[in-house]
Structure 1
Amino acid sequence: MTETTTTTPAQRGPSDHAIRTQIVEAATKHFSLYGYEKTTVSDLAKAIGFSKAYIYKFYDSKQAIGEVICANCLTAIVKAVDEAVAGVPSAADRLRRMFRALVEESVRLFFQDRKLYAIAAAAAAERWPPVKAYEVHVRQLVLQIVREGRESGEFERKTPLDEATSAIYLTMRPFFDPLLLQHNLDLAEEAPALLSSLILRSLAP
């Protein structure tokens, strides 16, 4: 299947992974407790025992730290989705499993830590690089499943591949996009099965 494409933001300063990890862990804790908007770099510096200037040697802004946390969350979702479809021979079954895993992992993040989910929502609204990479990965996975379904004879071949891929992606998006999912939580349990069936009927040869 496609490789995970969620990217970690470019880093600056000394390549001390332990300190970078310490900063991100402290930020994750503070964002969970107080929210992304209410946490400042000064708060993080105080929690870790560093100066604000020292943190800026590693990350040039609070958003840069937030991007790392966002990338970590989205990478976990991508990993779960890739594992859900790995080794499944039928393209139709892979599409069903992909959709369900996307929704389940996105909802899990939403309920597990609402304040961390708020980072993902802010990232989606502001189009941070990890979100763009995440969307590209999902699109690539959909395209690959549709292409392989056509090659195996499971899916029709008349609709342009890009058009079919975009239509499927847009159908799924309200249930994994952070900005949209919060408005569709009451439908998240039933949507994957119902919409997967609808999509697969449209793909039938």
Structure 2
Amino acid sequence: MSSLCTRLADPEKEKDSGSASMVRKAHWASRGPKPNSQEFEVYSTDSDGVVLARWRKLILDVAEEHIRRIGHRKTTVADIAFNLGASRASVYRFFPTRAAIDQSVCARIANRTLDDAREISQGSAPASIRLAEMFAALHQHTQLQLVEERHSHELFVAATDGKWEVAKWYFDEMTRIFEATIREGLEAGELKGGDAGNAARCVMVALIPFVHPRLIEERIAKGGDLKSELEAQTHFVLRALAKVPR
């Protein structure tokens, strides 16, 4: 998942010039916990890939904290570098652009939401029940983020409005989770239809108004009863997939 975002480059953004040497040790700002200096030692006995992953995680931890607190538009690479005790040039060694940081933070938040859907998908309940539970969980995450994590919601809105690659990945991954569950239902004879992939894409179209951050925001602003609407849409989807009409 992380590679998805680090390879994204934004030609409109300029990197720092110069060739500052890589910082050997990083530390948090005084208000936060300090990482183990040996763990983040650049010239450690670990492989380059392990060191890179550790630094990337540390940078994203700081970036996510800032974004949740003040929003992605106000968070700067300078803020992130300051809290790491590093230079901006050092941060850019791990992320080619500021946009890549935003996309990676968005991806890690999205992946936590998808983890709940994956856990439900891997359960032992009938496929129709798992699908209904996934619909409810994904919708709840999106709605709670709007209400309780406003800055994270704004980041997701920017991703979907701007057609960021991470937004496409998020909805594609959601569709793949639906597909896996539908395929199991077909194999068990519980659901009807011969193409799990096509069915999953249709389900995604039906569910998009309840998991798309911008669409949910607009529906709430208009006073829509999302709970009742989701229940009706879920019933419609499951009736369409049911082996025996309900």
Q: Do structure 1's residue 103 and structure 2's residue 97 form an aligned pair?
A: no
Aligned to 1:144: 180
Aligned to 2:2: 8
- Structure 2 length as normaliser, TM-score? 0.70
Distance 1:191 1:8, change over 3 A: farther
- Larger Cα Rg: Structure 1 or Structure 2? 2
1:65 deviation in Å?
A: 1.1
For 1:170, give the aligned amino acid.
Answer: V
Deviations 1:50-95, CA, capped at 9 Å, x for gaps: 2211211111111111122111111101111112232233111111
Q: Percent identity?
A: 26
The correspondence for 1:153, drawn from 159, 175, 189, is 189
Q: Do structure 1's residue 72 and structure 2's residue 66 form an aligned pair?
A: no
Aligned to 1:3: none
Aligned to 1:202: 240
> Which residues in structure 2 correspond to 1:1-205 (within 5 Å)?
7-9=1-3, 11=6, 15-157=51-193, 161-185=196-220, 186-205=224-243
For 1:194, give the aligned amino acid.
Answer: A
Distance 1:187 1:18, change over 3 A: same
1:99 deviation in Å?
A: 0.6
Residue-pair matches, total? 198
For 2:81, give the aligned amino acid.
Answer: A
1:139 deviation in Å?
A: 1.2
For 1:48, give the aligned amino acid.
Answer: L
CA contact (8 A) 1:81 1:101 kept: yes
Stretches (4+) displaced over 4 A: 10-14, 160-163
CA contact (8 A) 1:84 1:101 kept: no
CA contact (8 A) 1:8 1:130 kept: no
Gaps of 5+ in 2: 8-21, 23-47
Return the alpha-carbon distance in structure 2 between the equivalents of residues 142 and 135 of structure 1. Answer: 11
Farther-moved stretch of structure 1 (28-37 vs 93-102): 28-37
CA contact (8 A) 1:103 1:188 kept: no
Return the alpha-carbon distance in structure 2 between the equivalents of residues 191 and 85 of structure 1. Answer: 23
CA contact (8 A) 2:117 2:177 kept: no
- Structure 1 length as normaliser, TM-score? 0.82
1:38 deviation in Å?
A: 2.2
CA contact (8 A) 1:175 1:184 kept: no
Gaps of 5+ in 1: 1-6
Farther-moved stretch of structure 1 (96-105 vs 122-131): 122-131
